[in-house]
Amino acid sequence: MDGKKIVNLLQYAENYTEYYSKLFSNNGINTRDINDFTKIPFLSKADIQMNEKEIISDEYDINSLLLERTSGSSGIPLNCRYDKNERIRRSLALWGERKKNSSDIMGKKMVIFHAGNRRHANSTRNGLIARDGNTLYINYLNVGDTYVEKIYDALIEFGPYMIRCQPSILFELVTYCKRNNKSTGDIQAQYIELGSEYLFEYIRDEIIEAFPGAVVANNYGTQEFFCVAYSCPNHNLHIVSEQLHVETVNEDEEGYGEIIITSLHNYAMPFIRYKIGDIGKIETKPCSCGRKEPVLQLKSGRTSEFFMYGSNKVHAHIFKNCIESFNVLKQKTFIKQFQVIQLKEHHFEFKIVSDYTSFQEELRTHIKSFFLEKLGIELEIIVSLQEQLAIDEKSNKLKVYNFIQYDKV
């Protein structure tokens, strides 16, 4: 553990943020004593939502910070902020990891699969496929066959060195190619970076087989922190310890516990002992790749879900985008939590937790026009306000997306 960095962060947070100043004083935390670090209560998504402004340092103007919106698999929209220097630091850390696996990767042709909603949203992120210099942007929201065909053709024409994609989306491409006797090898990618969701071994193996000769790397990243851990040639996820302190708590007998992350450099909005919601195990035994950083074994994490609509196969991400766009419109975290239930193919219920009332009709209209604009599909929508959302008894978690399951053809 990088004690000095942590103590510096704790002292800063105590002096410059209302939230941590109160938290530390209420819990008797001595920020000069590194041993008190593990006494600090965890930071939950709900804590961030409720104390967004209080977590931001007095030294920063909220409007000058970069904003990352996330709601991941929790259905809880969050605004995470950091300054330009942190953005550069995060980006350098990620490129540093890539370079360890492929020393000449910088400046090569790259394909980025995206959901069309990112902070950097610009004209290149509109439409299905757009090229900006050496980068090709591909929207992955719809992976119905007609779309995947276009994506495949664009990849062949572009000839990328690197592809950055979610495992489930690339898996869709690979199975599409198998079904249609097309060769993924013809895409000639040299570096595949998977990320944004849990990587199942069978999917990784399919992708390795589909792209012989390519480095297949896994980036365990989150919108809150960017890259948390990155895989080496042994497929071990090494923690990016320079940037983050990662610990696990409440471990089971095998050593798997809840992953808790502290960002070491983001002083603008310190996340100290943040409960990310994933389960993992930290191993410190040496890896033959030569990296010294501990290895994170993930047990679970975010998975991808799709819903079917006609011949469309649509990524659940679109719901998160839609809800976030409504919060942006209202300039507040109007929707604190959401859950989606598919009642019929084109009929969805949105269960919403909010501090506000009487906006159901406005939200309903917003959702309908969002889907019409993004996918050209007309949905029937019910919006219902809830005091709280029911937890799934089996997983003990909120099941955000509840889609009709069709038999696989």
Residues in contact with Zn ion by the rule CB under 5 A: 232, 234, 236, 287, 289, 291
81/238 with CB nearer Zn ion? 238
CA distance 252 to 247: 14
Compute the least distance from the CB of residue 257 to Zn ion, in Å.
22
In 10 A of CB 70, how many CB atoms?
Answer: 17
The least CB distance from residue 199 to Zn ion, in Å, is 16
CB of 234 or CB of 311, closer to Zn ion: 234
Annotate 39-106 with DSSP letters as a single string. GSPPBPHHHHHHTHHHHS-TTS-GGGSEEEEE-TTTT--EEEEE-HHHHHHHHHHHHHHHHHH-TT-T
- Tokens 């937790």 map to which residue? 353
Which one, 289 or 389, has the nearer CB to Zn ion?
A: 289
Nearest distance, CB of residue 240 and Zn ion, angstroms:
13
Query: By C-beta, is 289 or 385 nearer to Zn ion?
Result: 289
In the bound state with Zn ion, the residue whose beta carbon lies nearer, of 191 and 350, is: 191
User: Given the complex with Zn ion, which of 291 and 317 has the nearer CB atom?
Assistant: 291
Q: How far is the CB of 3 from Zn ion (least distance, A)?
A: 25
Residue 48 or 296: the one with the smaller Cβ distance to Zn ion is 296
| Total Cβ atoms within 10 A of residue 317 | 23
- CA 370, 375, 380, 386 dihedral sign is negative
Q: Which is nearer to Zn ion, 230 or 334 (CB)?
A: 230
* Residue 237: CB minimum distance to Zn ion, A: 9
Q: Report the nearest approach of Zn ion to the CB of residue 100 (Å).
A: 9
Give alpha helix (H) positions in 188-332: 201-210, 317-330
Report the nearest approach of Zn ion to the CB of residue 101 (Å). Answer: 10
Write the DSSP assignment of 134-198 as a string of letters.
TEEEEE-SB-SHHHHHHHHHHHHHH--SEEEE-HHHHHHHHHHHHHTT--GGGG--SEEEEESS-
Quote the CA–CA distance of 194 and 219 in Å, as a whole number: 6
> Considering the complex, what minimum distance in angstroms separates the CB of residue 289 from Zn ion?
3
CA distances from 371 to 76, 78, 153, 160, 309 (A): 20, 22, 26, 31, 12
Distances (CA, A) of 34 to 5, 29, 30, 211, 246: 10, 10, 8, 46, 15
Write down how long the chain is: 409
